Amino acid sequence: MNMIEETLLIVDDDEVFASVLARAMARRFARVEVANTVEEAIASAQRYKPEKIVLDLKIHEASGLDIIKSLCDTVPGVEIVVLTGYSSIATTVEAMRLGATNYLCKPVDADELCRAFDSSSSNPSPDIPASPPSVSRLQWEHIQKVLNQNDGNISATARVLGMHRRTLQRRLQKRPVGR
């Protein structure tokens, strides 16, 4: 394991996870900084000019998607890997469109994260699943797409989907179903 002579910024509101990840990544990077809020993330990016950023998709009540462009503008050429516990095709596409270089689902370990940064430069072709996604997974993806189109507004999304708002909230609280 070689030390990378770069600065890594970890942006995650889960302070325990961010701390554990920072310790693991400190063995791999020359400098590791942690931010637990959107404001801290922007300030840290301005102060430390990191070459790489690990960005949680959900930071308290904010979306990590909302700050990707700011981070890219603050540090041109920065590589951003988005982490999430609730992945969807819609958020993956949006993150990449905004400037993220990769997108991973939690849980993730330090080696997998380093590979995500390495693979962003070589642009490997994605693995094609052997079987199509389940109906439940397609439903989850559709809900996420409509939610993204409505800027996270649950009431508007429920209206578009023709379901009760509370039913939608319950579905969103569950972890996404497997492929």
- Give 179's pLDDT tier (boundaries 50, 70, 90): low
Read off the pLDDT of residues 38-96 as tens digits, 9 standing for 90 and up. 999 999 999 999 999 999 988 888 888 889 999 999 999 999 999 987 777 888 888 89
pLDDT of residue 60: 82
Report residue 53: phi and psi, to 5°. Answer: -135, 135
Fold equal for 4-122 and 135-173: no
Domain 4-122 has CATH 3.40.50.2300: yes
Domain boundaries along the sequence of the chain: 4-122, 135-173
Structurally, what CATH architecture does the domain formed by 135-173 represent? Orthogonal Bundle (1.10)
Interval 107-142: pLDDT, tens: 788 888 888 887 654 444 445 455 666 777 778 778
22-49 average pLDDT score: 92
Q: What is the per-residue pLDDT for 3?
A: 59
**pLDDT value at position 124?**
46
Closest CA to 57 of 105, 127, 15, 18: 105
What is the residue whose two structure tokens read 């072709």?
Answer: 125
Spatial CA neighbour of 81 closest among 120, 47, 41, 133: 120
More confident residue, 153 or 5: 153
Rg from Cα positions in the chain: 17
Cα–Cα distance for residue pair 37/90, rounded to 1 Å: 23
